[in-house]
Each structure stands twice: as structure tokens, then as C-alpha cells.
Amino acid sequence: MDIQKIGVVGAGQMGNGIAHVLAVAGYDVLLNDLDADALEKALATIDKNLERQVSRGKLAEADKAAALSRITTTLDLPELGQTDLVIESATERESVKQAIFETLVPHLEPHTILTSNTSSISITRLASGTDRPEKFMGFHFMNPVPIMQLVELIRGIATDKETYDACLKVVEKLGKTAASAEDFPAFIVNRILMPMINEAVYTLYEGVGNVNSIDQSMKLGANHPMGPLELADFIGLDTCLAIMNVLHDGLADTKYRPCPLLTKYVEAGWLGRKTGRGFYDYRGETPVPTR
């Protein structure tokens, strides 16, 4: 099928990035959120990020204007029913995602493909609550979306080939690379990445090293561009904990047990960059380790 108009649910960090790259690639985008301020903030962020691309010579000024003109916003979720493809990018909580699909399904066109940007939740389970499990799949972008080149495409047990091929075509039009993953907890990237971050938190918890020494060790000793604790703060500690719980519950293996210190930080509301404190304190001019 020929996808032309794409709906994006959620105007947060991931949602606005997804809208950005889709609009640059020539798709008409309908961006939805419950909060009018979030939509306004998302448009401002997209404008700023497009301008950064223009200033670096990666995008022409005319292309920036054209991309912005392709994005419209709505507070009314059922409006997305008129699109060819929906990419849900709401909070990483299964109940929230299920409620979104439940609201949306009665308004969808018969041909509309439903996808989720979930980083860990079962695609098969999400699809089973809709009227089109064969037209449902995982469409997992990496953060920050305009920069990261990978998209994980995850088929549920019922996803048909036509749906997969249509989504693959979108990824290719975006100029990104698709990795095909099976529908098991956390898929590929987070199945490998999150236990590493969790182990770094255990290393901190057990006093093997402090925040600074752990991050420096992985940056200089393993050539990682960002230390695991710094990366956890960037992702959001609540998201890291949610994914570890999905791995632990879904695979029933104690090696995926979330570190108690990670749980403690989340309980404190120290979720990383987005709240100003996590493994680093971001409230001053430069980040300072909190341990």
C-alpha cells in the first residue's frame, strides 16, 4: 500500500522526533497529544532542530519550511483514524497504550496500519486488543530520532507480510536502516543495552566504583561515546526500570532483576535529565555526579 499520511500519538521527546523525520521525508503528519502545551512545545522543538540541520548544511531553508508545513496538530485522537499509518509514541506503560488503541480503533480506515514505538512491550499482546492484529507491528525508533540511524521493526505473531513491507518502505524513505526483530521482551537493542546499564547501577550500588569512574571506564576503556549512567539519565531512569521489569517478568530470569538503587532513584523522582537529577545533578552549569 502507498502510505502518504501518518499519525503520531504523543508529542514528547520521541513523538516530536518521529514527526520531524517523517515530515522531512515528505509525509503529511498529524501529531496528537492530550496537552495543547505539549503540542506547542513539540512544534517549537521541531523548528529548532530543523534550523540546526539548516545551519549545518544538511537541509535547505526551503526544505525546512516545506517540512513544517506538512505537520498539523490535534488534541482529538479519533482524527488520526483518517491516516494510512499510526505510530503510537506515548508513555512506556502498557495500560496507556491499550487505552489509546481502544479509543482509536473504531475510527480507523480499513487499510490503516497500527504501530507502536514501544521499546519493550509485547507487540502480539498489544495487537490482540485491536481489530487488526495482522496490520499491527512494532516501529521502534532510537533516541534522538533525527540523528539515530536505526529503526527496529517487530512483527507480532499475526503481522502479515504486506504490513511489514509497507513499514520497511517508510524506514527506507526516511534514509534509516531497519533491523528486523522477533517479538520477545525488549527486542534487540534494549535486550542488550538495558542489562548493561542495570549492571552499571549494580556496580555503583555495590561500591565497586563511583558514578564518575564507572562512566569514564566505559568511555575510555570500551570506547563508548557515553557512559552507561550518563546514558541512563539521557534515556530516563523510569524508562530503564520499566524495560528491566519487562525483561524480568517476561523471561523469568534473575539476571534481569532491576538493581534496588535504580528503583530507589525512580521512587525519589530522580529520573535523569528530564527532572534535573538522576545519577548526575543537572541543575548547575555542568552536570555533577550524585554519588
Integer Rg of the chain from CA: 19
Rounded Cα gap, residues 136 and 134, in angstroms: 6
Distinct helix (H) and strand (E) counts, the chain: 11, 10
58 is in an annotated binding site: no
97 is in an annotated binding site: yes
Contact yes or no for 272/237 (Cβ under 8 A)? yes
SS3 104: helix
What are the two backbone dihedrals, phi and then psi, of residue 66, each rounded to the nearest 5 degrees? -65, -40
269 is in an annotated binding site: no
13 is in an annotated binding site: yes
274 is in an annotated binding site: yes
57 is in an annotated binding site: no
81 is in an annotated binding site: no
Q: Which residues are catalytic?
A: 119, 140, 152, 190
92 is in an annotated binding site: yes
33 is in an annotated binding site: yes
Listed in sequence order, the residues at least 6 apart from 43 whose beta carbon sits closer than 8 Å to its beta carbon are 16, 68, 71, 73
**Cα pseudo-dihedral 257, 188, 49, 73, rounded to 10:** -90
| 199-200-203 Cα angle (round to 5) | 90
Rounded Cα gap, residues 214 and 203, in angstroms: 8
C-alpha cell at 261: 538503587
Rounded Cα gap, residues 235 and 152, in angstroms: 17
DSSP state for residue 273 in the 8-state scheme: G
119 is in an annotated binding site: yes
* Residue numbers belonging to the annotated binding site for NAD(+): 10-15, 33, 92, 97, 119, 143, 274
Annotated binding site: 10-15, 33, 92, 97, 119, 143, 274
